[in-house]
Amino acid sequence: VKAGKDPLTGQEISLLQGISIIAGTTFMYTAGAYHGKRMGIPKLKGVLRRKKAGGGNVPNPDIGVVQSRVNVANGRTRFTPTRPSTRKSVSAGFEHVLDGHFNRPIANSRSVFSVTADKLKQILQSQNVVKATVVEMGGGQYKRIVDTGEIVGNTALKYGGTPTTWIEVITDRAGNLITTYPVPKP
């Protein structure tokens, strides 16, 4: 730093950059990450990484616990969002999924599952689903669109009513299941 060069890259640096390097090293020493001539650099969490799940691959660190879990709640929870128009909780939970997307005919706006309820629970708690990118929808709801890797059901008639491996999973801010249903490949 004295010679006006970065000690790691050898590039020329300004006086202010040199002071910043010294201050950073002092901080790292105080925090316990500097050991003699070696500095422990922590691994970054939530950095861009490839995923097998559908959707983008940039986790949003600002959305909290929803990014790290899918809790298969049977019904509404204290985190279930409310509809602004009625101020009542939205229909939510695995019972809602069973009522709306199992043992029912496909409709224009309704897709149905062909896997068993137990199999769907396994899928929802798999790392493939949990680690999928979460998108904030507003109103306290968050979604993941995931390729499960196996046929799970049929899309709604407006999307052709065809078999699909893709699901959309909607959770609340705490990661509790609101609903899930088969969707076409995005």
Assigned token pair, 7? 């000690």
Residue 158 main-chain phi, psi, to 5 deg: -65, -15
- Predicted local distance difference test score (pLDDT) of residue 59: 52
Domain spans of the chain, in order of start: 1-42, 61-183
Question: Crossing angle, helix 117-124 and helix 94-101, to 10 degrees?
Answer: 130
Q: Which helix (H) or strand (E) holds 171?
A: strand 166-171
Average pLDDT, the chain: 81
- Predicted local distance difference test score (pLDDT) of residue 7: 67
Which residue's entry shows tokens 């705490």? 174
Assigned token pair, 177? 């299941």
Minimum mean pLDDT among 21-25, 27-31, 97-101, 124-128: which range?
A: 27-31
36-52: burial string, b at 16+ Cβ within 10 Å, e else: eeeeeeeeeeeeeeebe
Q: Which helix (H) or strand (E) holds 181?
A: strand 177-183
pLDDT (tens digit, 9 = 90+) per residue, 129-176? 999 999 998 888 999 999 999 999 999 999 999 999 999 999 988 899
Which amino acid belongs to residue 3? A
* pTM value surpassing 0.75: no
Residues 97 and 180 sit within 8 Å (Cβ to Cβ): yes
- Predicted local distance difference test score (pLDDT) of residue 49: 41
- Predicted local distance difference test score (pLDDT) of residue 146: 96
